[in-house]
Amino acid sequence: MNLTRITAFGAGLVVIAAALVSTSTASVAASTTQSEGILCEPSNFAAATADFDISTSTGHISMPDGNVLFSWGFSTGTHAFQLPGPVLCVKQGQKVSITLTNTLDEDTSLVFPGQENVTADNMPSMPQVDGSNRVTSLAPVATKSGGQITYSFTATKPGTYLYESGTDPVKQVEMGLYGALIVYPDTTVSQDTAVNAYGDPGTAFQKGREFLHIISQVDPALHLAVEQKKPFDWSHYQAHYFLINGRSAPDSVSPNDASWLPSQPYGSMVHVKEQAPLGDTAPALVRYINVMPTDAAFHPHGNTETVIAEDGQQLRKNGVDDSYGSFLVDIGANRTVDALFSWTNVDGYNPTPGTDFNPIPVQISPYQDVLTSASTWYSMSPYLGHVGDLPAGVTSLNQCGEYYHMAHNHALQFATNFGASFGGQMTLIRIDPAAGC
């Protein structure tokens, strides 16, 4: 540890403290603002066609260490600029029509990996080549400075997909031109009532417990060069910020639409109740999308996840369920993975004398004998739903004795903010007692 890191860490925690306060005060309006989980662009699952008007835009994103980075993004106008692009939610069988308006001073386009029969202005969308057979774009473009093009396809299969720039994608995707596309099974009435990812009993999840992790990275030098319209030497490319849903930890656990992150509207904290008759009775669904050029080795603490789908394809063939348990969810470059998470109080620890009395059988060190971070998610009690005494000078980020576990990229250089630990591609898993908080 060194002073620089202490300072950066402390600053991050102040932001988090504010975030949690805001979460609780905003919870009254949760039904309209939806502070957690997937925040879809408004769309109507009953309509035959889901129409989206998307523009490129530029703006700035903030990092927890105070750095502010120029970035590109997609926007529907809900935000003048946002990272990542709007989450597009549609129903299986719907026709999807996306009109892209290009405000950048270079051509751009959209590709939809995993979708079939995509058209661009009613012609098949396919890679573009110049006179010498050089691929200039993976899809027909919206030309620079105002060009427009409409991509259409029918969302035939449920699943987790992405959309991203198909033009100079090494640069344009890194600059922020990516977003999530989620196709719900055809039985789904609306996103907020969805309970199944692929329409199969093995892909059921608890209503409202659906989360998105879009994993990306940023080289601040590239973003500065683009902002200043200067050339960039790609042989010196070095990412220093590592994002989930456009945010770097600990901003990742701030609520959706946090006012202090005006261009980064999507939080990523996974929030469940313990599995119990009065708690959650189905797992949570985490939809992972990796837009980095390298694999993401994502490690949820707390429990093994069950991987149920990859690239929008349920892991099931010939009627055989091929899902598998994994404490390390490995998301390949430009791939998607769906996984289920739940937490059960298997050992039934209970400090209250009575029929369920079952104390942890080792001495829990008193707080005087351990280190507690200056701001802590720990309730100071090892038991779910219990709160212990807070040491003097320590700020609690805990509400009711709920548990928090970490979830992060285990290539730990990706779990940093410009090298400072407890940052980057890291978020939290919150586990509430069955009775709630």
At 84, list the tokens. Answer: 């990542």
Radius of gyration of the chain (CA): 22
Cβ distance to other proteins smaller for residue 146 or 301: 301
Q: Are 377 and 427 in contact (CB under 8 A)?
A: no
Cβ distance to other proteins smaller for residue 28 or 371: 371
Quote the CA–CA distance of 376 and 149 in Å, as a whole number.
49
The CA-CA-CA angle for residues 74, 51, 188, to 5°, reads 105
425 three-class SS: coil
CB of 368 to other proteins, least distance (A): 10
CB of 371 to other proteins, least distance (A): 4
DSSP state of 369: G
409 three-class SS: strand
Quote the CA–CA distance of 420 and 400 in Å, as a whole number.
30
Cβ distance to other proteins smaller for residue 193 or 413: 413
Strand ranges (E), 165-203: 178-184
Where b means 16+ CB within 10 Å and e means fewer, 103-124 reads bbeebbbbbbbbbeebebeeee
The CA-CA-CA angle for residues 38, 186, 341, to 5°, reads 40
Cβ distance to other proteins smaller for residue 31 or 235: 235
Cβ distance to other proteins smaller for residue 260 or 327: 327
CB of 280 to other proteins, least distance (A): 9
Cβ distance to other proteins smaller for residue 168 or 274: 274
Which residues make beta-bridge pairs with 408? 299, 426
CB of 328 to other proteins, least distance (A): 4
CB of 189 to other proteins, least distance (A): 23
Give the CA dihedral 413, 417, 423, 424, nearest 10 degrees. Answer: -70
At 239, list the tokens. Answer: 């990412």
Quote the CA–CA distance of 159 and 371 in Å, as a whole number.
44
Cβ distance to other proteins smaller for residue 59 or 424: 424
Cα separation values, 341 from 98, 142, 271, Å: 32, 40, 10
CB of 275 to other proteins, least distance (A): 5
Cβ distance to other proteins smaller for residue 51 or 322: 322
CB of 414 to other proteins, least distance (A): 8
With a CB cutoff of 8 Å and minimum separation 6, the contacts of 42 are: none
CB of 338 to other proteins, least distance (A): 11
CB of 366 to other proteins, least distance (A): 10
Cα separation values, 336 from 47, 325, 381, Å: 27, 16, 37
φ, ψ at 44 (rounded to 5°): -115, 110
CB of 82 to other proteins, least distance (A): 25
Cβ distance to other proteins smaller for residue 112 or 205: 205
DSSP state of 257: T
Cβ distance to other proteins smaller for residue 93 or 220: 220
206 three-class SS: coil
Quote the CA–CA distance of 236 and 317 in Å, as a whole number.
44
CB of 48 to other proteins, least distance (A): 34
Cβ distance to other proteins smaller for residue 188 or 409: 409
